[in-house]
Amino acid sequence: MQTNNRDFLSYPKVIENYALLEEIGVFDLISEMDQRVREYQSLLFGAAEIFNRMSIEEIMEATVSQISNQYLPSFIAFLWRPLQNREDVTLKGYQNYKLINLPYKIDTITPFVPFFQVNREPILYATLREELKDDDETRDIFASLEKLTPELVVPIIGPSGLYGLILVGHKVTADVYTDGELLFISQLMSFVSQAIQNHIHYEHSVRDVKTGLFNHGFLVPRLTEEISRVKRTGQVSSLMVIDVDKFKVFNDNYGHLAGDRVLEFIARAINKSVRTDDVPSRFGGEEFTILLPNTTAESAFLVAERLRDNIATMSVPWEAALPQVTISLGIASFTRDTNAGTDEIIHRADEALYRSKETGRNRTTIWHGDLAPGPDKKGQA
């Protein structure tokens, strides 16, 4: 565009009528159009960066990068609801493009939902504070937000509602955010919202809604891939199957809602025990699995025992005191020489699990060739 401008200014007719063109504002208009083109180019580049991300965390980082590149804010904080059916909020802060530790937390953003259902654009923090000054539900949240001293609040909104909020600090240059800058951020957020919505749709197709773990439909093809990889590389991997002991009795005594809460906390414990490459999933009901690539049966046993101990001492908050729950586990490893497909590996881990049940529960068993199945697996919950 700058080259074209130079070409335009070199035309004889332009030179001849330069004063007139300047007087009627042609050059100012060209300059304004140049600025708009640069903004749209930046917006499209930012959208491409955001849509190329593969996780919510990466989408957040790309969004932070785009805003930081444009305006040099003193900080950016991202409040995000990892599970749309839960209140829990993740708070991440960024300064100079780097993740920073924030010594406090915010438990919920739900009280902001009614406001942003009507007001969907970025808003100055002071304005938002004034608009909701009489709202008791947001008072404690604002008390925490004050510690960040944000200048701008940007809602992330999509078809599923309010996904999160971005808090943007004042610009390092001390300039205020102009209407044009607010418009740019709003347009950028429309891409962010769509990217998040696409990711949510994918996550819903491969994850269990209740626990956030992968579902059985995701595990099976992933296990098939891992068996093929192990045959190529000669490495060893393991599959762990987990079942909550006497869970039917628990549900009968304390109700299914309490049982659901226990399953959620077990899922959290599982997530904390796994590595990035592991595949934790909910197999169904109160049964879970963990695919452990590049893990021997002995190493998987250590993981299983740590998890078993953690769950046996786990405290689950509820309206009434809940008893401790325990889990039983079975492990089946496989190598290049293992003559077993996906279904057989699952069957072996399941056999080991039921051996744990038959021998007293609250224990881990490793499958081996002479592990004979019990006479009757029914009633071994």
pLDDT recorded at residue 185: 81
Nearest to 131 by CA among 104, 163, 153: 153
Using the 3D structure, point to which of 162, 178, 206 is the last residue of a domain: 206
More confident residue, 125 or 39: 125
- Can you list the alpha helix ranges (DSSP code H) found in the chain? 2-9, 12-16, 18-23, 26-51, 56-71, 113-118, 125-131, 136-145, 179-206, 216-233, 247-254, 256-273, 297-312, 342-358
Average pLDDT over residues 34-61: 77
Using the 3D structure, point to which of 187, 206, 225 is the last residue of a domain: 206
pLDDT recorded at residue 155: 86
* Domain co-membership, 219 together with 281: yes
Q: What does the DSSP assignment read for 121-154? A: S-EEHHHHHHHTTT-HHHHHHHHHHGGG--SEEE
Strands across the sheet with 152-158, in order?
A: 98-100, 90-95, 76-80, 161-168, 152-158, 123-124
Cα–Cα distance, 302 to 309 (Å, whole number) = 11
Nearest to 361 by CA among 247, 238, 271, 239: 247
Q: Exposed, middle or buried: residue 10 (CB in 10 Å: 0-12, 13-18, 19+)?
A: exposed
32 counts as catalytic: no
Catalytic residue among 226, 286, 287, 351: 286
Q: How sure is the predictor about 380, in pLDDT bands with cuts at 50, 70 and 90?
A: low
* Domain co-membership, 235 together with 280: yes
Which pair of structure tokens corresponds to residue 141?
């949240």
pLDDT recorded at residue 329: 97
Give the CA dihedral 217, 222, 227, 232, nearest 10 degrees: 150
Average pLDDT over residues 30-36: 75
pLDDT recorded at residue 2: 45
Which pair of structure tokens corresponds to residue 276?
């990035």
* Domain co-membership, 74 together with 194: yes
258 domain residue, yes or no: yes
pLDDT recorded at residue 83: 57
**pLDDT tens digits along 84-128:** 555 567 788 888 878 887 767 787 888 898 999 888 888 889 999
Instruction: Express as a percent the part of the chain with pLDDT over 90.
Output: 41
Cα–Cα distance, 214 to 222 (Å, whole number) = 11
pLDDT beyond 50 at 328: yes
189 domain residue, yes or no: yes
* Domain co-membership, 328 together with 188: no
**pLDDT tens digits along 246-256:** 999 999 999 99
* Domain co-membership, 58 together with 148: yes
Cα–Cα distance, 371 to 165 (Å, whole number) = 54
Cα–Cα distance, 355 to 380 (Å, whole number) = 10
169 domain residue, yes or no: yes
Contact 51, 151 (CB under 8 A): no
* Domain co-membership, 349 together with 237: yes
* Domain co-membership, 62 together with 199: yes
Highest mean pLDDT of the ranges 79-83, 204-208, 340-344: 340-344
**Domain residue limits at 63:** 53-206
Which pair of structure tokens corresponds to residue 144?
């925490």
Average pLDDT over residues 127-138: 90
pLDDT beyond 90 at 341: yes
Say how many domains are in the chain.
2
75 domain residue, yes or no: yes
* Domain co-membership, 260 together with 332: yes
pLDDT recorded at residue 84: 54
* Domain co-membership, 66 together with 192: yes
Averaged confidence pLDDT in the chain = 85
* Domain co-membership, 134 together with 265: no
Pick the range with the lowest mean pLDDT from 37-51, 136-150, 177-191, 235-249: 37-51
Pick the range with the lowest mean pLDDT from 18-32, 61-75, 237-251, 364-378: 364-378
Which pair of structure tokens corresponds to residue 305?
């025992």
pLDDT recorded at residue 311: 96
Contact 217, 204 (CB under 8 A): no
pTM of the model: 0.63
pLDDT recorded at residue 3: 47
276 domain residue, yes or no: yes
Nearest to 226 by CA among 158, 306, 291, 135: 291
Instruction: Express as a percent the part of the chain with pLDDT over 70.
Output: 92
Residue with tokens 């586990």: 329
Cβ-defined contacts of 153-156 (< 8 Å, 24+): 153/122, 153/123, 153/124, 153/125, 153/128, 154/122, 154/185, 154/186, 154/189, 155/112, 155/116, 155/119, 155/120, 155/121, 155/122, 155/189, 156/189, 156/192, 156/193, 156/196
- Ramachandran area for residue 292 (φ above 0: left; ψ -120 to 50: alpha; else beta): beta
Q: How sure is the predictor about 296, in pLDDT bands with cuts at 50, 70 and 90?
A: very high
Which pair of structure tokens corresponds to residue 322?
């809940």
115 domain residue, yes or no: yes
Q: Helix or strand or coil: residue 322?
A: coil
Average pLDDT over residues 61-81: 82
Q: How many CB atoms lie within 10 A of CB 379?
A: 7
Nearest to 81 by CA among 115, 116, 104, 110: 110
More confident residue, 119 or 240: 240
* Domain co-membership, 153 together with 275: no
Cα–Cα distance, 59 to 286 (Å, whole number) = 32
pLDDT beyond 60 at 374: no
pLDDT recorded at residue 6: 61
* Domain co-membership, 350 together with 233: yes
339: domain CATH number is 3.30.70.270
Using the 3D structure, point to which of 206, 235, 263 is the last residue of a domain: 206
Residue with tokens 């959620």: 264
Pick the range with the lowest mean pLDDT from 65-69, 167-171, 310-314, 346-350: 65-69
